[in-house]
Structure 1
Amino acid sequence: MSASPWLVGPFVDMLVGSGLAYLMTLPLLLIISVRTGFVGWPVLLVTLISILVSVPHYGATLLRVYEERSQRQRYALFAYYLTGILALVFLAGIYSIPIGSALLTLYVSWSPWHIGGQNYGVALTILRRRGVEVTPLVKRLLYVSFVLSFLLALLSIHVENSNHVPASGLQAARIYRVIPVGIPSALVSVVFPVVLMIYVGSVVGAFVGLVRRGVRGWPLVSVVSLVAAQALWFVVPALLFFWSGTDAEGLLPFAAIWISAAHSAQYLWITTHYARRIDPGIRTGTYLGKALLAGAFVTIFPGLLFLPDWLGAPSWAAGLGTLLFAVVNIHHFALDGAIWKLRDGHVARALLRDDPGLAAGKAEASVGLGRWGWRVVWIGGSIALAVTVHEQFERTVTLSGITLRSLDRARDAIARLEWTGRDSDSDHLVLANSYLQAGNPDAAEKEYRESLARRPSAEAVSGLAAVRIQRRDWSGALENYDRAQRLDPDNVDLMIRRSDLLNQLESETPPVDRAAIRDLQRRSIRLLERALDLDRRRVPTIVRLARVYTRSGRRRDAAALIQAALEGLEGLASTERAMLEREKRALSDPRSGSAAGTRAGPVRPGASGARP
């Protein structure tokens, strides 16, 4: 038993070390979500959490491995060779989507194991500092519970057709994606309940064993809290996904970011204690500041070396930032698995016994990397933090609430973000839409093309179509909408806009050119029928199709379509029913082609495309 049962103190150890802060705030977050419908963190708050907690936790690992020569030599395989290999794979991933996606998949798959291992180690540390002799059976049962929580998460990630991603930092992933292994659902449906039952049994067995050993009060509460946190982070989301197909992010709001923050804070709690045992003279603020700069150097600074305009890399928002985040985490997982083992005498003396003799053997911190090596880290980390702060300033102050009067100011802000590669395709897209609304199609077209240069998207190509509509270039608009549809094949709105443009071209085609008119009508009908296959409740689309049927000589089909909608669609709004009834009356009048007449109506230009 150590001289003190606490690593830092009762308050910090209970809230941060044992995860009680997470468990206590979870009900509050649920209440906020239910009452407000708000399920996402503000970008500024996410950035603050990242800078103050997540980034330093990566830096703490680097300080642990690289700051002392003895540690670099001891873990040379990881410190040098693994680092070099990951750097090369990262470079390959920048220019290869399959390699980048494989790295992303490895990060997501490894994450539950890494977090579970930390929770298991913390549980044993708390018990042993309290003088609890954990029997081999109880220790094994506790270990099995964390292993099986990982296995349940892994099954949910890699079952066929899975979209379950229990990891943070991937919300902005656009180029790379997680690739499930594709375990057959039939196999998982058998394995999952068995693993779940063994998991529950191991948890119950571990708790019963601890109680029988006389464990009470804070030590027992801490273990229960850590096991509960692990279950909420991975077991409960896996259960929700398998049994209801529900994304846990909707029921456990802000989950990924909050889990990451809780895990990172817990890690800093451990590493700060370790650092002070090794060097009693270091201040907590100094240590955390060094960890922040070291973390920023590896999580942010490398992205500045791959600006899209320099080396053809994807932009930070489109995928570079996500790929770097995945590689940094893989490196972090591998290092942590090697350096934090309670059976390691050095670690045990620091975490379990507070051995004062550790400080006497501390190596010179600057040996190996040298003074200039650490200066590079501190300067690079400072630049990285400055870039992040600048980005958030531009987004929260300059770009928030773009108005027609502030377009030029917004354009200048985005240009400044381009200097550090932090502009995104969505920045240019929002600005382009605003320019189009302001009646400046030339500026809008420029920004749409800037957006497409960063990431091809149906939204930006649709914007180019809207520019053509403002210029009354119907053929050019249709060509762009066709291109947008290829990027988003099941987008019903695009199908409707393409149909409207075909109708516009039909209205401008000379009546004598009947072959061209029939071709335009057939294309419009195919689009609208496909749109209704995807969404049968769109009454305006039903009316559109009925009118094209009528113009193409299929009046009976039009009447049958309207009647089927009136009889088959339940819960119609009064305005929708009135629209269908009006169309039905028009079709019953032999003097009328339909409510729209016998010729297609014109397209009205607008930022969102053609409208009826």
Structure 2
Amino acid sequence: MSVVSAAAPLAGVRRPALDPGRAFVNPTFDYLVIGGGLSIVVLGALQSGAFPSLAQLLAKNLWFIVFVANSAHFAASTVRLYTKPGALRDFRFLALGLPFLAFAALAAAITAPSLLGRHLVSLYLTWSPYHYAAQAYGIAVLYCHRSSARWDATGRRLLRLSCLLPFLYTFFSLPGAGFSWLMPEAVRTQPAMAAAVTALAGILRVASFAAPVALFFRQQTGGRAALPLISLLAVVSNAIWLVPFGYQIPLVMITVTVFHGLQYLAIVMIVHVKERTRAGNVAAWRPAAAFYGACLVLAYLLFHLWPKAYVLAGFSYAQSYLLIVSVINVHHFIVDAYIWRLRRDPSYAAVAGSASP
């Protein structure tokens, strides 16, 4: 989820020096799920190996966990697109044209996997960390604007940069994506170039954590709007997701995608429920259940039935699944880039200024 800006609510409210941020649901839920706090605890436990029973539990139930969180979150952007008021008017290409382009891209990639398919996968792997960074920025900005009207353009740019640094780290360090995908091997393997990229990745690794902390202290001075602690947590959580593990431990990285999905589902359902409850006298659980139910149905169609259709057509399941996941991701990234533009949608601004869903 990427966010450009939100409305400036509560201009006259005096905030504490250390601003915890105004929760959407309640502080515990917001900090653990939307801020990513629970992910840090779980990932630390998995990485340390101190709790083998946790790893066994996750591995045993991995299909179900991924389905209800990560797969559902991909479907959520599409469900949001088609349930968003005025979507067919405002996003005609996204709603009517982009699905056909996605089908065409998948057909081309699966027909010529060596020529086109590998580039589709590399595009997905390159774009995904940027999408994570954009979601972290969007969440951080939402909480900033819920707390203060005084965030200026410079502060937002520095916040965006802090969120983008982990993406830049993965761009230069992730095999098969980013720099290693776009730059010819003859150039990448030059000793001077390899040394420069290694040094740059090292700088970005440190900066991914130092920059948000520095921004936090910057905002504490000069009469600036304080960076809410939950915004700082969201940015640091994203850095933890993308930087330390290097995509080397499958269970850890799958767990990262699960928490990213939970974070997205929480925000999109809060927005959806707010819209529906403002439109009429309806209990909040009804639109929430309907929205999430639609996400589960669509996720099952996309991630479980669609690959089987290609198997029936004579393609291998592994290849079909990988390319379908890649095209679903790219579609998700494009849709998100448009449907979360808060500056152009006053309904999002209203949600940003509300204290609870």
Which bin holds the TM-score, normalised by the shorter protein?
0.7 to 0.9
Query: Does residue 270 of structure 1 match 2:278?
Result: no
Amino acid at match of 1:320: S
Q: Per-residue CA shift, 1:6-37, capped at 9, x if unaligned?
A: 22222211111100111122332234x25659
Is 1:227 aligned with 2:235?
A: yes
Q: Report if aligned partners of 1:59, 1:296 keep a CA contact under 8 Å in 2.
A: no
Please, which moves more after superposition, 77-86 or 105-114? 77-86
Mapped partners of 2:31, 2:51: distance in 1:
29
Moved over 6 A (4+): 37-41
C-alpha displacement at 1:108, in angstroms? 0.6
Amino acid corresponding to residue 41 of structure 2 in structure 1? M
For residues 35 and 41 of structure 1, what CA distance do their matches in structure 2 show? 10
- Runs of 5+ consecutive residues of structure 2 not aligned to the other structure: 1-8, 14-20
Match of 1:138 among 112, 135, 155: 155
Inter-CA distance 195–52: structure 2 relative to 1 (3 Å threshold): closer
Check whether the contact 1:116–1:147 (CA below 8 A) recurs between aligned residues.
yes
Query: In structure 2, which of residues 314, 320, 344 is the aligned counterpart of residue 312 of structure 1?
Result: 314
1:129 is aligned to 2:126 = no
C-alpha RMSD of matched pairs (Å): 3.0
Q: 1:85 to 1:109 in 2, by over 3 A?
A: same
Q: State how far apart, in whole Å, the 2-side matches of 1:278 and 1:71 are.
A: 14
TM-score (norm 2): 0.79
Within the alignment, does 1:188 sit opposite 2:190 as a pair?
no
Structure 1: any 5+ residue segments left out of the alignment? 166-177, 239-246, 356-612
Aligned residues: 321
Letter in 1 for 2:243: V
1:114 equivalent in structure 2: 131
Distance 2:349 2:213 in 1: 31
Q: Does 1:102 align with 2:119?
A: yes
Q: CA deviation at 1:100?
A: 1.5
Displacement after TM superposition at 1:204 (Å)? 3.9
**Counterpart mapping for 1:64-463 below 5 A:** 64-68=80-84, 70-98=86-114, 99-131=116-148, 133-157=150-174, 162=175, 181=183, 182=185, 183-184=188-189, 185-193=194-202, 195=204, 199=208, 202-212=211-221, 213=223, 220-237=228-245, 248-249=248-249, 254-280=251-277, 281=282, 282-308=286-312, 311-314=313-316, 316=317, 318-354=318-354
Provide, for residues 181-201 of structure 1, a one-character-per-residue CA deviation record: whole Å limited to 9, x for no partner. Answer: 443413413433454566566
Does residue 13 of the first structure (1) align with residue 25 of the second (2)? no
Note if contact 1:341-1:347 (Cα within 8 Å) is conserved in structure 2. no
Report deviation, 1:123. Answer: 0.7
Asked whether the equivalents of residues 5 and 129 of structure 1 are also in contact (C-alpha less than 8 Å), the reply is yes
Q: Distance in 2 between matches of 1:35 and 1:54?
A: 23
Q: Deviations over 1:299-357 (max 9, x none)?
A: 3332232234xx2212x2x22112111111110011001111232233533431349xx
Post-superposition CA distance 1:89-113 (Å, at most 9, x none)? 1012222222221111111110000
Deviations 1:88-141 (A, max 9, x none): 110122222222211111111100000110011101111211235223222211
Secondary structure, aligned partner of 1:147: helix
Distance across 2 between alignment mates of 1:62 and 1:312: 28
Structure 1 residues 36, 28: CA separation in 2 closer, same or farther (over 3 Å shift)? closer
SS of 2:244 mapped into structure 1: helix
Where does residue 51 of structure 1 map in the other structure?
67
Amino acid at match of 2:274: R
What TM-score comes out, normalization by structure 1 length?
A: 0.48
Q: Could you tell me how far apart the structure 2 residues matched to 1:214 and 1:69 are? A: 36
Q: For the residues of structure 1 that align with 2:29 and 2:36, how far apart are their CA atoms?
A: 10
The alignment-based identity, stated in percent, is 21
**Separation in 2, partners of 1:110, 1:10:** 31
